[in-house]
Structure 1
Amino acid sequence: MQTATTTYKNNIGGKLTESSSKDYFEKYNPADKSELLGKFPKSNAKDLEEAIKKAKIAFEKWKKVPAPKRAEVLLKAAEITTKEKEELSQILTKETGKPIVEARGEIQEVIDTYHFFAGEGRRIFGTTGQSELPNKSVITIRQPIGICGLITAWNFPSAVPSWKIAPALLSGNVVILKSSKDAPLSGYKLIENLYKAGLPEGCASVLFGTGEFGDLIVRHPETKVISITGSVEVGKMVYETCGRMLKKCALELGGKNAIVALEDANQELLLDGVLWGAFGTTGQRCTSTSRLIIQKSSWSNSFIEKLATTAKKLIVGNGLNANTQVGPLITEKHRNNVHGFVERAVKEGGNVLTGGKFLTGKDLDKGWFYEPTIISGIKKDMELATTEVFGPVLAVIEVSNFEEAIQVANNVEYGLSCAIYTKDVNKAMSAAHDFESGIAYINAPTIGAECGGATAFGGWKNTGNGSREGGITALDTYTQYKTIYIDYSDRLQRAQID
């Protein structure tokens, strides 16, 4: 095992391999910018070719291993991950800054994902059909595709790669993972543990690098599937490239998620939900609650005041401290970007109820901390109401009725997650159907999708391209169908003619 502050090597097909670039980037703890977590190679085209070469050889053998046997690797990986859960959680918190309790939850999601897809090893079902001709049968089967290029984000550097790796490997594919440069170590550990679990040589590689290296993976003619979690801008470029090359592509992109609060909402439940949805993971989730669309009522003003007062009391600090509720932002650049949204919102007429500043003093000077921020007076077409911030900033938008609330909720280019708080079952179900989003919640915040189980995860509109992670639908990305006709009539039969 390599330790912190080590100069790391790529894991190419199960072997630690020095990058031919001889160039490195440094990764620091966002809660303590003086703590160097490691130096990681800036991989290049030569490194990728080595991974591709090993993957091609491995694929020819791995695809022939029965799926239940492939599943045994995932089960063993789940067992190893369970034993190392605390160690992996500590690494995750140091990389991302998220509170340790959230990191433990993310590692549990990896375990759950492995368990789920291991079970699917005995249920990779095709279909049977009825032929129009006698003594003839028709079946369809799923088959693997080849080398899958997986490009993941820094905010969930363990869970999100596992969503991609598990169904890909189970289906008989091989994978090349590029971890985010802002959280490179967690994905590295995933691949390391898969090899500990008995994954054959060459079936998985993890290479470090920048966005330019990710582009090499996307454009390489031997990568047959690309799955990426990232921004809308990058996703569109990837989709265009994959379209020209006619390769499968799965996109999980941005979100501008809303909680709709109606006048009959349970106020205490709503308060807890908004705080968790907006400020969990420091607002750095694609599903984070970045808009509170609240119906004007006898209690709405007092609720907004209480929300701001409570948010001000949230404990911000190093995620390794057990009492920390909100960690740092991932980098100085990102903190500056988040602050820019706040400044522009104020210029447009927004009213900062709490937050809106860098946090300093004592240990807070060490990292990229930002105050949990709530801004009222936001109109539906303002930047803060329509653009993803990816930070601890909540826009409060007041509406007059249910119909207006739904219209405002849908008034964005994204379509990932929306929620409604109400006791009216008719409005709750109407909202769940009318939200233009891939995920809808009733009386729960916009975060918390159970992707380690049988549920699909993904969005509408500019949040993605219709693909889904999690659940059996994930297999659609990593398999291709084959239709097999069996004629046992001992004579020529012509469909649509005889």
Structure 2
Amino acid sequence: METVGHLINGERLDVGQRFQDVFNPATGQVTKRVALASKVTVEQAISAAQAAFPAWRNTPPIKRARVMFRFKELLEQNSAKICQLIGEEHGKISHDAMGELQRGIENVEYACGAPEFLKGEHSKNVGPDIDCWSEFQPLGVVAGITPFNFPVMVPLWMFPMAIVCGNCFILKPSERDPSSTLLIAQLLQEAGLPNGVMNVVNGDKEAVDTLLSDSRIEAVSFVGSTPIAEYIYKLATANGKRCQALGGAKNHAIVMPDADMDNAVNQLLGAAFGSSGERCMALSVAVAVGAGTAQALVEKMRTAMAALKVGAYSDASNDFGPVITRQHKDKVVGYIDSAEADGARIIVDGRNAEVAGYESGFFVGGTLIDGVKPTMQSYQEEIFGPVLQVIQVDSMQEAMNLIDNHEYGNGTCIFTRDGEAARYFTDNIKVGMVGVNVPLPVPVAYHSFGGWKRSLFGDLHAYGPDGVRFYTRRKMITQRWPSAGVREGASFSMPTLK
């Protein structure tokens, strides 16, 4: 059986004393095993990165960017293989996997602009013979801990920007679907990256805790659930590290009475059930304003969901695939059960989904639940599955209050034709990423991604301009070369320019 190992100092290492099974979630079968790094293995990767840092730090930004240009080409040339690995280990349908890869490539494209965004600022003659300028200097060795649901895109949020800014990187990907992540790291080596600049260690809590406690790691990026994000942030900052930890979500869509209902339904289908709902930006709650709106929404969703196709990644006609593990399937089904027990109505039931030829797969069908109340567990917690819940309210303000009162503040949207309502919503809602008739308002690569409240721990968002700020330190330099023969006496007042 194939072992998925580590990439340390440019070499593939399949060593380990502990291993974990990797499943194909469509078949339910074990296909590989992944080596779980020990503390010693992680420290080996950190040492390799630390040794590579001085030379990489002093490599001109244009040369770093050229590596990223070649990396982008290799990602595109190997896209079929990358997407196949995503499908085999995550279950994501081929077209969805290609979309994930493309969004990741866009972050590599942004990183190629390093010579521009690392220029800093310069001011001449801020005082007599005094010039002042800023520089963006790398931090050193930095780490990323990434989730199973985007094994390619989320790592590409992190390491291209960190590396092009002059840092060396340690990546700890999800042990559930590690192969595509390891492949893209190997492609970066093939693009000409020096050994030790990029390292991958597969592992579990032992690997994570080593990264969080080792004093040589300057910063940590994380994407995952809120409880783990909070743990990562607290431990990293307690050890003096810079940290951005992106957590969970409960994303709401307000459907106004004037909304184009057919368009809203089409958009909700993809946003709620795409990637089996295993997205931190998935729309999991539709808030219908008014009884008529709620009734129309539920009936149109019921009809549209009859055409949904769930199945294996290799059939591009499928809309979404299985969830990641049998345990996660049981968790999602448990939330549906709890909603029903709490009095909600299961309009479309995906608990007993069956796919011919894949009877042992971890499939949950698209599920629609009506009559949901804010007190229900299924509403309060992140389900992370193909489940859409509907809540009815009487006004837009009541809908906004519902969203604002939730502990998460990752993403939200409103479906409306009313510009005044949309403007009020975008100005006042307490959520980090907001859409107007756009159900998945994920920022493009040259903006930054991040939520509010307990969806983000830290001050800077992921990728884009905030990515540059996170992976660099600004240094201000003030320099004076006095004119020959000019000597000033000592001054004990605060320097000013009058």
Question: How high is the TM-score relative to the length of structure 2?
Answer: 0.95
**CA–CA distance in structure 1, aligned partners of residues 365 and 306 of structure 2:** 8
Q: Which moved more, 1:95-104 or 1:118-127?
A: 118-127
In structure 2, the CA distance between the partners of 1:189 and 1:121, relative to structure 1 (3 Å rule), is farther
**CA–CA distance in structure 2, aligned partners of residues 80 and 450 of structure 1:** 24
**For 1:199, what is the secondary structure of its paired residue?**
coil
Q: How far has the Cα of 1:299 moved from its partner? A: 4.5
Mapped pair 1:68 → 2:62 = yes
Contact 1:150 1:178 in 2 (8 A): yes
Q: How far has the Cα of 1:95 moved from its partner? A: 1.3
**For 1:314, what is the secondary structure of its paired residue?**
coil
Residue identity in the other structure for 2:5 = K
Aligned partner (choices 377, 385, 396) of residue 390 of structure 2: 396
**For 1:454, what is the secondary structure of its paired residue?**
coil
Residue identity in the other structure for 2:8 = I
**CA–CA distance in structure 2, aligned partners of residues 108 and 254 of structure 1:** 23
Runs of 4+ residues over 6 Å off in structure 1 = none
**CA–CA distance in structure 1, aligned partners of residues 373 and 355 of structure 2:** 34
Q: How far has the Cα of 1:62 moved from its partner? A: 0.1
Contact 2:212 2:239 in 1 (8 A): no
Q: Deviations over 1:307-356 (max 9, x none)?
A: 02322320011021121102100001111111111111112111111114
Q: How many aligned positions are there? A: 490
**CA–CA distance in structure 2, aligned partners of residues 80 and 205 of structure 1:** 18
**CA–CA distance in structure 2, aligned partners of residues 462 and 108 of structure 1:** 28
Match of 2:372? 378
**CA–CA distance in structure 1, aligned partners of residues 479 and 404 of structure 2:** 49
Mapped pair 1:478 → 2:475 = no
Residue identity in the other structure for 2:447 = T
**For 2:286, what is the secondary structure of its paired residue?**
strand
Match of 1:33? 28
Match of 2:339? 345
Q: How far has the Cα of 1:125 moved from its partner? A: 3.3
Q: Which moved more, 1:380-389 or 1:201-210?
A: 380-389
Aligned partner (choices 200, 203, 218) of residue 206 of structure 1: 200
Alignment of 1:290-369 (within 5 A): 290-360=284-354, 362-369=356-363
Computed over aligned residues only, the root mean square deviation of the Cα atoms, in angstroms, reads: 1.7
Q: Deviations over 1:54-79 (max 9, x none)?
A: 11110010000011110111110000
Match of 2:446? 454
**CA–CA distance in structure 2, aligned partners of residues 297 and 126 of structure 1:** 55
Contact 2:309 2:320 in 1 (8 A): yes
Mapped pair 1:22 → 2:17 = yes
Q: Deviations over 1:399-435 (max 9, x none)?
A: 1111111111222111110000001101101111222
Residue identity in the other structure for 2:368 = I
Q: Deviations over 1:214-260 (max 9, x none)?
A: 12111111111100111111111111112212210011111110100
Mapped pair 1:119 → 2:113 = yes
**CA–CA distance in structure 2, aligned partners of residues 165 and 119 of structure 1:** 15
Alignment of 1:425-444 (within 5 A): 425-444=419-438
Structure 1, unaligned stretches of length 5 or more?
none
Question: How high is the TM-score relative to the length of structure 1?
Answer: 0.95
Contact 2:151 2:178 in 1 (8 A): yes
Q: Deviations over 1:3-48 (max 9, x none)?
A: xx422331102111243x3322121110112251x22111101111
Residue identity in the other structure for 1:7 = T
Q: Which moved more, 1:356-365 or 1:473-482?
A: 356-365
In structure 2, the CA distance between the partners of 1:301 and 1:125, relative to structure 1 (3 Å rule), is same
**CA–CA distance in structure 2, aligned partners of residues 460 and 322 of structure 1:** 35
**CA–CA distance in structure 2, aligned partners of residues 268 and 35 of structure 1:** 42
**CA–CA distance in structure 2, aligned partners of residues 272 and 120 of structure 1:** 39
Aligned partner (choices 11, 16, 19) of residue 7 of structure 2: 11
Aligned partner (choices 182, 201, 216) of residue 176 of structure 2: 182
Alignment of 1:54-93 (within 5 A): 54-93=48-87
**CA–CA distance in structure 1, aligned partners of residues 463 and 71 of structure 2:** 18
Q: How far has the Cα of 1:50 moved from its partner? A: 1.1
Q: How far has the Cα of 1:303 moved from its partner? A: 2.5
**For 1:163, what is the secondary structure of its paired residue?**
helix
Match of 1:244? 238
**For 2:374, what is the secondary structure of its paired residue?**
coil
**For 1:390, what is the secondary structure of its paired residue?**
coil
Residue identity in the other structure for 1:407 = N
